[in-house]
Structure 1
Amino acid sequence: MHIEGNIIAGEFDPERNEFSLQRVKHFYTESTIKETQLESLYQYLKKHENEQDGQIITLYDQMPLRLTQSEVKQLIMDLQRIYPFYH
């Protein structure tokens, strides 16, 4: 199932119970997110969602990508949308 969020987009595979991340903002990537990883990322972002400086995430463990406070909130909403698909 294809999921198009505000910050991320990708495919959820119910048989493998994982989300294949294909886009972050306007950058294309290929990464797999398991339920525990999504939960950890969600909890971290919820703790820091009100920080005015936003957050920095990395793609491929080497390319920093800045998220504004507003984009962090949008990413949280994207993750909330994906989470119910896990079983």
Structure 2
Amino acid sequence: MIIEGSIISGEFDPSMNEFSLHKVKNLNTQSVLKENQLTAIYNYLKKHENDDDGQIITLNDQMPIRLTREELLKLAADFKKILSMYD
């Protein structure tokens, strides 16, 4: 199932119970996230959702991406939607 969120896009595979992340903002990436990994990221985002300066994430441990507070909230909403798909 293709997922097009506000900040991310990818594909959820219900048979493997995993999410393949393809894009963050407008940057291509390739990561497979299990439920516990997605939950950890979601919890981190929720913990820092009130940070006025936003957050910096990295793609493939190499490319830093700045997320504004608004983008951070949208990313958390995208992850929440995906988390609801796990068994």
| Structure 2 letter corresponding to 1:5 | G
| Structure 2 letter corresponding to 1:25 | K
1:84 offset after TM fit, Å? 1.1
- Structure 1 runs of 4+ aligned residues shifted over 6 Å read none
Query: What whole-Å deviation, never above 9, does each CA across 1:14-38 have from its counterpart, x for those lacking one?
Result: 1110000000000011110110001
- Identity of counterpart residues, as a percentage? 59
Within the alignment, does 1:54 sit opposite 2:54 as a pair? yes
Number of paired residues?
Answer: 87
What do you get for the CA RMSD once the two structures are aligned?
0.5
TM-score (norm 1): 0.98
- Aligned equivalent of 2:11: 11
Query: What whole-Å deviation, never above 9, does each CA across 1:16-66 have from its counterpart, x for those lacking one?
Result: 100000000000111101100010001001010010100000001011000
1:73 offset after TM fit, Å? 0.2
CA distance in 1, matches of 2:10, 2:21: 5
CA distance in 2, matches of 1:41, 1:63: 17
TM-score (norm 2): 0.98
Structure 2: runs of 5+ lacking an equivalent: none
